[in-house]
Amino acid sequence: MSDLLHVSSSPHVRSKVTTSSIMMAVCIALLPTTIFGIYNFGLNALMLVCVSVATCVLTEMIYEHFMHKKITVGDFSAVVTGLLLALNLPGNAPWWIAVIGSIFAILVVKQLFGGLGQNFMNPALAGRCFLLICFTGRMTNFAIPNGAFGNIVDTVSGATPLAALKAGEQVDVLSMFLGNTTGTIGETSAIAILVGAVFLVSIKVIDLKIPLTYIGSFAVFVLIFGGHGFDLNYLAAHLCGGGLMLGAWFMATDYVTTPITKNGQLVYGVCLGILTGIFRIFGGSAEGVSYAIIFCNLLVPLIERVTLPTAFGKGGKKA
């Protein structure tokens, strides 16, 4: 009888899903765009991926060792941060850029605020924005894809499709969709990103609310304020160009820095779409995804507070 009356402490609903399994799934989902980026930009891109991941893992391990904390590199969160940061770097960036960005992402943004689950913004994007501020020239010098592990030198560079679009030039949307264009290592091929996104959705690691709300609200903003009317080619170029797809499916869906309420996730997605549109259409830069996501990360506590459901039994009409 005493066993029947025994009540354990929360949580009462348990799952076999672990942090390491989720992070491993994200790594697998990022493989198509990573492999394509290495093929597109050569061995320097492979070096940047390896250096970024290794630096993130070592930084987390060393910090936790000297702070006498449990070593958590086995959850693969540092690997995901390093991989995402590398995918947001130009293919011809020097190796030390990846080292500096990785240390900032793990040490400053993640560990100094308590580690996984306590960071207030996406560490990989914070690292990228830090590098953009400190090393603007190198972070905006994009190599022209050479393919098949070709050598890329700094003198061979060109404007991204979004920069050309902002300047009023015509762009090849099909090349942007397939990935034969300039940009960072992981943002060039929309189809490679979508393959990984479909995998994450199919195994229920992420759902469609935030990405579709983000992309949809951004599309509406571009159609209204883009200055090209209902030009589907112009819209498709904005959707396939830059880091929109990579950001919408892999960084805007970060569990730690997104609202937990359903309505909050919709508000979050709309804010992302509007801010990205403002930065791209009216801002000085052709991009805007990184800053939009980081800014909205800071709004998450406010969004959750506003969209928090009313507790059961409270707020009802009195008889």
Question: Is position 207 within any domain?
Answer: yes
Question: Is position 223 within any domain?
Answer: yes
pLDDT tens for each residue of 272-313? 999 999 999 998 777 889 999 999 999 999 999 999 887 766
CB atoms within 10 A of CB 314: 6
CA distances (Å), origin 174, targets 169, 203, 239: 15, 29, 12
The pLDDT > 90 percentage for the chain reads 65
Whole-number mean pLDDT of the chain? 88
Tokens at residue 193, please?
């990103």
Q: At what angle do helices 262-282 and 289-307 cross, to 10 degrees?
A: 150
3-state percent helix, strand, coil for the chain, nearest multiple of 5 = 60, 0, 40
Question: Is position 315 within any domain?
Answer: no
Q: Has residue 34 got a pLDDT over 60?
A: yes
Q: What is the pLDDT of residue 316?
A: 55
Confidence of residue 156 (pLDDT cuts 50, 70, 90): very low
Greater confidence, 86 or 310? 86
CB atoms within 10 A of CB 283: 15
Indicate the number of domains in the chain.
1
Domain with 101, as residue range(s), is: 19-307
Question: Is position 312 within any domain?
Answer: no
Q: Has residue 205 got a pLDDT over 50?
A: yes
The CATH number given to whatever domain includes residue 25 is: 1.10.3430
> Is omega for the bond preceding 11 within 30 degrees of 0, making it cis?
yes
Question: Is position 319 within any domain?
Answer: no
Question: Is position 318 within any domain?
Answer: no
Q: Are 182 and 145 in contact (CB under 8 A)?
A: yes
Q: Are 177 and 239 in contact (CB under 8 A)?
A: no
Q: Has residue 143 got a pLDDT over 80?
A: no
Model pTM above 0.95? no
Question: Is position 258 within any domain?
Answer: yes
Mean pLDDT, rounded, for 214-220 = 96
pLDDT tens for each residue of 232-271? 999 999 999 889 999 999 999 999 999 999 999 999 999 9
Question: Is position 316 within any domain?
Answer: no
